Amino acid sequence: MNIAIIPARGGSKRIARKNVRNFCGKPMLAWPIEAAKDSNLFGEILVSTDDEEIAEIATAYGAITPFIRPPELSNDHAGTAEVVVHALNWGRQQGWRVEAACCIYATAPFVTVNDLVRGLHVLRSSQCTYAFSVTDYPASIFRSFEPLREQGVRMVFPEMYHKRSQDLPTVWHDAGQFYWALPHTWLTDSCVFSKNSAPVFIPRWRVQDIDTPDDWRRAELIFNIMKSQFNG
């Protein structure tokens, strides 16, 4: 079977309790759980958390929370891959036979069933180790510059100054929504961002980091516009 693993710790710093905060009518965590459920791709949807309230909400929306994540995997320095490996090892102890595992971020309310289906298709149809969500930058990073300490600015890529915008290289970044891989890939701790990974493109208007109150407000505005368009 395939499994979804959703890391959701309780100690978010910049937006307190953001994993369970109300986002457009539901706890933030509910949206990725429901997308995973509706996709019918997963035999189990496991939320890895160190927090009892998060566990209760996850269970109410159809996920399982079979363990409380240990403290060493719940601090500010614990990586996502470590959390996924911990969940996979727990599943192996239960006798699970996992074909593919998808890590979905708890703060990914824009993830859709189609995104998850596309991701699994890309993983299965390619020789890549990961299939993960990506998007493009709103402006080319090759036109970026940094402020100087005293006065003025300095281009980060001065060699690109005379290039036309249409001639600049295409650059993407992690959309921070989902990461498909085989269990072996997760367990060997291979790098996600490499030539062996396959990008699954998400349009920029459906991607939003949610780390500050301003991010949160912007995400809600986009989400509500999406709902009004699709329901109208």
Kindly report, residue by residue over 93-140, the tens digit of the pLDDT. 999 999 999 999 999 999 999 999 999 999 999 989 999 999 999 999
In a domain, 151, yes or no: no
Are residues 59 and 65 in contact, defined by beta-carbon separation less than 8 angstroms?
yes
In a domain, 25, yes or no: yes
In a domain, 142, yes or no: no
In a domain, 164, yes or no: no
**Residues 93-99: contacts with CB under 8 Å, at least 24 apart:** 96/1, 96/3, 96/44, 97/1, 98/1, 98/2, 98/3, 98/183, 99/1, 99/2, 99/182
pLDDT for position 226: 87
Count the domains in the chain.
1
Q: How far apart are CA 111 and CA 126, in angstroms?
A: 22
In a domain, 165, yes or no: no
**How would you write the pLDDT of the chain (232 residues) with one tens digit per residue?**
999 999 999 877 778 899 999 999 999 999 999 999 999 999 999 999 999 999 999 999 999 999 999 988 888 778 899 999 999 999 999 999 999 999 999 999 999 999 999 999 999 999 899 999 999 999 999 999 999 998 999 999 999 999 998 999 999 999 999 999 999 999 997 789 999 999 999 999 999 999 999 999 999 999 999 888 766 5
Residue 108: domain span: 2-136+172-231
pLDDT for position 150: 87
Q: Mean pLDDT, the chain, as a whole number? A: 93
pTM of the model: 0.93
For residue 12, what is the domain's CATH number? 3.90.550.10
The H or E element containing residue 221 is helix 213-231
In a domain, 146, yes or no: no
In a domain, 199, yes or no: yes
- Integer Rg of the chain from CA: 19
Kindly report, residue by residue over 11-20, the tens digit of the pLDDT. 777 788 999 9
Q: SS3 for 117? A: helix
